[in-house]
Structure 1
Amino acid sequence: MWQDTVILAGSIVAIASLFPTLLDENASVPLSTSVPTLVVLSGQGVAFYTLDLLGSAVGALAGFVVWSLIAYFKSPDDAGLVPADLGLDFDFGSDDPPAGDSTPAAETGTHQSGHAPRAD
């Protein structure tokens, strides 16, 4: 099937584009990127195989191997699947400014919502 060849060609291009990341000593790819990619590639590989698209299944397997290497070698040392601190302040019950913002809204000319007042 020609579709198998097209999908395999796309996999080859995608895999080739990942090699600079693998070779870069300073590259850092979070697990929150690589793990979902691994899940998708494994599902695609099974789906392609059951459709008798063996070239595409091999391409998905090769992509899985490369992304596994990226997950193993290029994730930050302290990486978790979900970042521990996203830097977001979810304190909805407080009228205090978010952490790091000590300027009262009255001094900045903005409303508590962060929007400037309307000029009527």
Structure 2
Amino acid sequence: MSSVRTLLIAGAVALLLAIAPMPAEYYKALRFFVCGICTFAAYVSLREQSMLAFPFLLAGMIFNPIVKVQMDREIWILADLVVAAGFLATVRLAPRLDAAKVVTIPVSSGATPEAQPVELSS
């Protein structure tokens, strides 16, 4: 998850910079960058069977550069802040989330009489 952490930090910085007035090209590039980060982070989260994939997919849809979401500047600033905070929270909490994975306990392989299949006569 270390490569994802680096990308999330870079994405958070880029999103925080977007709060300041920037040229239109910056915001176009930001959409590609954030959408790419979200897609990669969602892929890694799904591979690790983490529920973090869903917020990443939602953020990726908002910052999608192909099917653009149109919002006012104030709403974009709020979205930038929320997604940047989510990226940084993921960086901070990811080690704890990895350690908190559910431990499965193996069950004995012997079948009980109740669990055996029953043949139906026709």
- TM-score normalised by L of structure 1: 0.37
Whichever structure has more helix as a proportion of its residues is: 2
